[in-house]
C-alpha cells in the first residue's frame, strides 16, 4: 500500500517527520518505543527501541537455585507462564536425568495448552484494540480469560505467576474435580472462540484493514529467526511440538496451522485456528490421563544438583520458540542461563514489515507480532 507521489506533489519539498510512539501509549503492549520516520502518512523507516523493561532475569537466575528460578521464568513470560516454566524445567531435568512420571506429563501438557488458550485470548483482545474495535473484543477476551484463570487459581494458587511445576513433576496434585473443571472451561473457551470468529474474521472492515498489510516472505522470516504463529502465517510449517516433540505431543493428533500470505490477517487467523487445535489436544489428553498416579519421581534429592554440562531446550510457547540454554558446572545453580526469546527475534522483522505502510498499519503490524515486553527485554 505504497502511495505513489504525483507530479505536482513532487514539486513540494517536504521533510520527513520523526514520530515517536511510546514508551507509554494507549495500546497494551507495554513499554516499547519506536520512532517512525514518516513522509506524509507513509512510513519510511522504523527504529525500535527496547530495553525499558530489562530486569536482568538471566543474571539473577545465576544466583538462584533451580527452584527459585522457576519464579523468575514465570515473570519472564507472564502471559504464558506455564510454558516458560516448562522450558526451564525440561532443561534442568535433562541435565539432571530426572524422569517425569507419565501423569505429570499429561497434566503439564494440559496446563500448557490451556495457557496457550488464555494467551491467545489476550492477543485477540489487544489486537482488537489496535485495529480499532475498541472495547468489545477486549471484554470478551477477559471474560474467557477469567474462566481459565479461575481454573489455574484452583490448581496452583495464583492467577498469573503459577510456580506450579517443579523439577521432576508438579508441586502438588491437581484437585479431584480436575477433569470436570477442564471440560467446563473448554466449553466456555469454545464458545469464546466462536464469538471472536464471528466478530472479527468475516468482518469486511477488519479484512480490508488487515489483508495485504505487513507482509513478510518465508525466506526473510527464516533468515530473521522468527517462530511461532508469526512464521507459520508466512507458509513455513515450523512448529517445535511437531518437529522435535516433547511431553506427549507425538501421541496426540493435531494439525499445524500454516497460512499463505504472511500478512496481518494470516497471523491473526493462524492464532484463532490454533486455539481450536489446542482445545482438541486438551480433550485427547483428558481421555488418556490417568486419574491417580505419582506426580514426582520416587527418589528426589533434597537439594537438586546437576552434573556439569550444557543443554539447549526449546518448546513452543504461544509466541514462538522459547528456548533455554543452560550451562551448569555442578552445584545447584546455573552457571549461565540464556533465555532465547521468541518475541525478540520476531520483533527484528518489524522494520521489514512496516516500511511502506501507513502509520495506522504500522500499529497493527506491531500488534500482530504479539510481543510481551518482559520476554523481549528479560
Partner 1 sequence: MAVTPHTAAPGATDTPQVATATTETEIPSTPPVTDPGPGPAEQPLPVVPGEHPNEAPRLTPVQFTPGKALYKQILPGVMQVPLDLVLAASRKSSLWPMTFGLACCAIEMIGTYMAHYDLDRFGIVPWPSPRQSDVMIVAGTVTKKMAPAVKLLYEQMPNPKWVISMGACATNGGPYTRYDRVLQGVDKIIPVDVYVPGCPPRPEALIDSFLALQAKIMEERKTTGG
Partner 2 sequence: MTNDTPDTTGAANGDAAVAAPDLSATIWPEVDRALSGITATAEKAVLDVIVFIPRDEIIDGLRRLKNDETLAFDYLRSLTAVDQEEAGMEVVYHLYSTTRRHNLTVKVALDNDDLTIDTATVVWKAANWLERETAEMFGIRFNDHPDPRTLLMPEDMADTFPLRKSHPLQEIEILQGEGMGYGEEGPA
Nearest CA to 190 among 251, 272, 307, 130?
272
User: Of 128-136, 220-228, 286-294, 357-365, which segment contacts partner 2 by CB under 8 A?
Assistant: 220-228
Does 63 sit near partner 1 (CB under 8 A)? yes
CA dist 146 and 341 (Å) reads 27
Does 312 sit near partner 2 (CB under 8 A)? yes
Q: Closest approach of Cβ 236 to partner 1, in Å? A: 30
Using CB under 8 A, pick the residue from 78, 102, 197, 245 that binds partner 1.
78
DSSP 259-324: -SS-SHHHHHHHHHHHHHHHHHHHHHHHHHS-SS--SS-S---SS----SEEEEEEEEETTEEEEE
Of 5 and 22, CB closest to partner 2: 22
CA dist 80 and 318 (Å) reads 7
Does 45 sit near partner 2 (CB under 8 A)? no
Does 75 sit near partner 1 (CB under 8 A)? yes
CA dist 84 and 81 (Å) reads 5
Q: String of b and e for 283-300 (b: at least 16 CB within 10 Å)?
A: ebbbeebeeeeebbeeee
Binding mask 139-158 toward partner 1 (x if CB under 8 A, else -) reads x--xx-xx--x---------
CA dist 100 and 234 (Å) reads 36
For partner 2 (CB under 8 A), the number of binding residues is 51
Does 246 sit near partner 2 (CB under 8 A)? yes
Binding partner of 280, given partner 2, partner 1, none, CB within 5-8 angstroms per partner class: none
CA dist 173 and 292 (Å) reads 9
Binding partner of 72, given partner 1, partner 2, none, CB within 5-8 angstroms per partner class: partner 1
Q: Kindly list the residues in this chain that would bind partner 1 in the complex (CB under 8 A).
A: 23-26, 28, 30-31, 51-57, 59-60, 63, 71-72, 75, 78-79, 122, 138-139, 142-143, 145-146, 149, 159-161, 373-374
Amino acid at each position: 500500500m505504497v502511495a505513489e507521489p504525483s507530479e505536482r506533489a513532487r514539486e513540494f519539498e517536504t521533510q520527513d517527520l520523526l514520530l515517536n510512539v511510546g514508551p507509554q501509549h494507549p495500546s497494551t503492549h507495554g513499554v516499547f518505543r519506536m520512532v517512525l520516520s514518516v513522509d506524509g502518512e507513509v512510513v519510511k523507516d522504523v527504529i525500535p527501541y527496547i530495553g525499558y523493561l530489562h530486569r536482568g532475569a538471566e543474571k539473577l537466575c545465576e544466583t538462584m537455585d533451580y527452584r527459585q528460578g522457576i519464579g523468575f521464568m514465570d515473570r519472564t513470560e507472564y502471559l504464558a507462564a506455564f510454558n516458560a516454566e516448562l522450558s526451564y524445567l525440561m532443561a534442568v531435568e535433562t541435565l539432571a536425568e530426572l524422569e517425569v512420571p507419565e501423569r505429570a506429563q499429561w497434566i503439564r501438557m494440559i496446563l500448557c495448552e490451556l495457557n496457550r488458550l488464555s494467551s491467545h485470548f489476550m492477543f485477540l483482545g489487544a489486537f482488537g484494540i489496535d485495529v480499532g474495535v475498541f472495547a468489545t473484543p477486549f471484554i470478551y477476551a477477559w471474560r474467557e480469560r477469567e474462566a481459565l484463570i479461575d481454573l489455574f487459581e484452583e490448581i496452583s494458587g495464583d492467577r498469573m505467576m503459577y510456580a506450579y511445576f517443579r523439577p521432576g513433576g508438579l508441586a502438588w496434585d491437581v484437585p479431584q474435580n480436575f477433569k470436570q473443571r477442564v471440560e467446563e472451561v473448554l466449553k466456555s473457551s469454545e464458545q469464546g472462540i466462536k464469538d471472536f470468529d464471528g466478530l472479527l474474521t468475516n468482518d469486511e472492515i477488519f479484512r480490508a484493514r488487515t489483508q495485504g498489510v505487513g507482509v513478510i516472505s518465508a525466506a526473510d522470516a527464516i533468515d530473521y529467526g522468527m517462530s511461532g504463529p508469526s512464521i507459520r502465517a508466512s507458509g513455513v510449517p515450523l512448529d517445535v511440538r511437531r518437529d522435535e516433540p516433547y511431553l506427549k505431543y507425538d501421541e496426540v493428533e493435531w494439525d499445524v496451522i500454516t497460512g499463505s500470505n504472511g500478512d496481518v490477517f494470516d497471523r491473526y487467523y493462524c492464532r484463532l485456528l490454533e486455539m481450536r487445535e489446542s482445545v482438541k489436544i486438551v480433550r485427547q489428553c483428558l481421555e488418556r490421563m490417568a486419574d491417580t498416579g505419582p506426580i514426582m519421581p520416587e527418589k528426589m534429592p533434597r537439594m537438586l544438583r546437576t552434573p556439569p554440562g550444557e543443554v539447549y531446550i526449546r518448546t513452543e510457547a504461544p509466541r514462538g520458540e522459547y528456548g533455554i540454554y543452560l550451562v551448569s558446572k555442578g552445584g545447584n545453580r546455573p552457571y549461565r542461563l540464556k533465555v532465547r526469546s521468541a518475541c525478540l527475534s520476531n520483533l527484528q522483522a518489524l522494520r521489514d514489515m512496516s516500511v511502506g505502510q501507513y502509520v495506522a498499519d504500522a500499529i497493527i503490524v506491531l500488534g500482530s507480532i504479539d510481543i510481551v515486553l518482559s520476554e523481549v527485554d528479560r
